[in-house]
Amino acid sequence: MEAAAQRNSVPPERALPFFTFVTAVVALAGTVTAVSLIALPSEVPALPVAFWLMAGLAVVCDARPFTPPGRRQSSAVFPSICFTFAIMLIWGEAPAIAVQAAAVVVASWRMRHTAWRALFNIAQYAIALTAAYATVQLLVPDLPYVAAVVAAAGVWFAVKYGTVTVAIRLLTGGHWWRSVSHGLAFELLSTGALLLLGPILASAARANAALIPLVVVPLYAVYRMARLSTEHEQVGRLDPLTGLANRKALLGEVADRLPGHAERAARHAAERHLALLVLDLDRFKYVNDALGHAVGDRLLVEVANRLTAAVRPQDVVARLGGDEFAILSGRLADPAEATDLANRIVDVLAEPVPIDGLPLDVGGSIGVAVYPEHGEDFETLMRHADVAMYDAKHRGDAVAVYAPDSDHSSPERLSLLADLRKVLETTGPKGAVGGGAAGVPGAGRDGAGGRDGGAGREAGGAGEITMYYQPQVEIATGEVVGVEALLRWRHPRRGMVDPEELIRVAEQSAVMRLLTRRVVDDVVEQIAKWAAAGLPLRAALNVSVRDLHTGEIADQIDDRLTRYGVPPDRLQLEITEGALMADPHRVLATIARLDRIGVAIALDDFGTGYSSMQHLRRLPLSEVKVDRSFVLGMTDDADDAAIVRSIIELAGALGLRVVAEGVEDERTWRMLHAAGCHVAQGWFYARPMPADELVSWLARYHPLRPHPIT
């Protein structure tokens, strides 16, 4: 073993207690060994060849110590231990201390240790050998020799390991138990084996000095096996392409550093923060596809070199896989330093990488998570840095710091998703389950945003998902021509759940499929019930991007329409331009199948997406819905009014029906009527309501009086 420090520098806040302890150990060593060492020169001439042989082997063997990776800094293996322990058993502690000191000097020179570090190591060994020798002298009269030697080895280990552990704790901080336990098993095995080899060497020396060199063979075999094990572990902790640390090594680094940062945070000390940055390269797939994986690999190696050059020596750069990297930066006085580091990396990557004369751009997005603000363990920090990275990509920024608002996979939302699955699996397939099903902003709206609270409070029992319906009224005649299905859920603990939040969570999981199937079942069955009661209403429901990607929804709708005997034109699906842009080819294929079935398609939130003219020309649409953000501003904003009129004129020229969402007052209704809008929905007519309330509302509704009925 060796002294406890990975670097020769000592943190300023720990310098005094650490060096005080080092001074105390050195002083104690000088005190307990002074008498025996003073008498040593007179004993040297009488020392036999066996002693000098073991002394020479101890010094030579310690010229090649090694430290297994992933161990604490004190875990280097020094073969001299077995020789000096044997010398102590035969000739006493003074010769053993002298030989051990010579071996430490050689090892420290080879490992470039500072003078104080070498002195501290010598002092540790001196105290350990003195304590072990005293144990043997004390126990031999009363115990068998073997038992006394084993006890002495235990005392040696306890003293040496204890002093190193205290030094590590004072130097790096952290919890005492972690300082004691980290690496204990390895050192018990390696150091214990060397110590217990000492009595065997002592017996060989007493029998014949020529037997002593033979111990080099098993020592070398152990050394080689340990070296191979070390190399194997190193391979498991390094990325084979770039030579950077991998995820496993990064996990170990975080685990090693967190205790010290935790202590600094508790003391409100400076440099208490630790930052984890996750970098994902942009357009790397294009490089692989266009130029081949060999060029892609060379690009990754260059990125690794640039990242290593951009960070501090004590920071850790790791490759997580593919084109994703991570940087662990500790001892930050302020979280803003992490952002500064991220911006510095962005600048470093801004310069194109020339490969075979071709300059390649290697920009990327970086997510930042800071300890302890954004997490207190590796997995939490990594997940939050990932969330921030994807947030940066989504916003088109180079750097983003973790924000809970952008975390769609927070524990709260995961819990919400689990509750949603539970509700879907425990209520019957024809139960009060609903819809809006499905993943677009309109699924959670009634034309008045948060003002739907009153309707939500009338939802079914606690923990039930319910379908509400909002009338769609023809502006010219006041006739109710359809309804839009909207999702409502009263959670047993959270109360009314924001439908948009619910859909954002569900759409990223398999629960979305369960929700959509139930919504389609419920809406189609409700259409059939209305038809049987003499109400030939058309119902519109929103569908998610996930539904449109799989195409399964077309088969499901065809099956349900046939089962309930509902004409296809009584059902309308609303899609958004965002859904189209997610994967145009697969979405268009699904829409084409629905059109062949006879289901009408409406383009929802029109005016807020992209390539609107192209969509209007190519899609088999029957209707466009003007986004409520424009409708709500018509009466006060001339630009909004102009946009609405333009959409109405464009859709009319293409033969499409126009529906305005968010109609909340008579003035807006009159402006839409004057502009030639066909259909309106909103609080001016009615708020969303359950199916049975809708029937009652229709019975009281008068087409010539389009105001809400109270």
Residue with tokens 């030989």: 99
Which tokens is 102 given? 């010579």
456 vs 459: CA distance, rounded Å: 5
Q: How far, in Å, CA of 8 to CA of 133, rounded?
A: 32
Whether the Cβ atoms of residue 438 and residue 467 lie closer than 8 Å to each other: no
Phi, then psi, of 604 in degrees rounded to 5:
-85, 155
Residue 100: closest CA among 115, 122, 82: 122
Q: Return all residues near 592 (Cβ < 8 A) that are at least 6 apart.
A: 620
Rounded to whole angstroms, the Cα distance separating 316 from 245 reads 8
Angle, in degrees to the nearest 10, between helices 584-597 and 552-564: 20
The encoded tokens of residue 477 equal 């005649």
Smallest CA-to-CA distance from 434 within 516, 540, 504 is with 516
Specify the residue for token string 């208490």: 272
Relative to beta strand 465-474, strand 679-681 is antiparallel
Dihedral angle, C-alpha 288, 289, 291, 296, nearest 10 °? 0
Retrieve residue 480's tokens. 């109710």
Torsion of CA 97, 103, 106, 110, to 10 degrees: -130
Residues 6+ apart with CB under 8 A from 582: 545, 549
- Identify whether the C-beta of residue 657 lies closer than 8 Å to the C-beta of residue 651: yes
Provide the sign of the torsion angle of the four alpha carbons 588, 592, 593, 597, taken in this order.
Answer: positive
Concatenated DSSP letters of 287-309: HHHHH-HHHHHHHHHHHHHHHHH
Verify whether residue 661 is a known catalytic residue.
yes
Buried b (16+ CB within 10 A) or exposed e, 12-44: eeeeeebeebbeebbeebeebbeebbeebeeee
Which tokens is 634 given? 């018509």
DSSP 8-state symbol, 44 = G
Question: 502 near 520, Cβ under 8 Å?
Answer: no
Sequential DSSP letters for 237-253: HB-TTT--B-HHHHHHH
Q: Are 436 and 459 in contact (CB under 8 A)?
A: no
Structure tokens at 304: 């690794």
- What tokens does 290 get? 């266009």
Specify the pairing of strand 324-332 against strand 273-281: antiparallel
Round to whole Å and give the CA distance between 570 and 581. Answer: 27
d(CA 53, CA 170): 38
Report helix, strand or coil for 684.
coil
Beta carbons within 10 angstroms of residue 476's beta carbon: 11
Write down the residue that tokens 């839409």 correspond to: 672
Write the CA distances from 635 to 638, 672, 686, integer angstroms: 8, 10, 20
Task: Give the span between the Cα atoms of 555 and 589, in whole angstroms.
Answer: 13
End-to-end CA distance of the chain: 85
Among candidate residues 661, 664, 666, 693, the one labeled active-site is 661
Report the alpha-carbon distance of residue 509 to residue 397 in Å, rounded: 26
Catalytic residues: 661
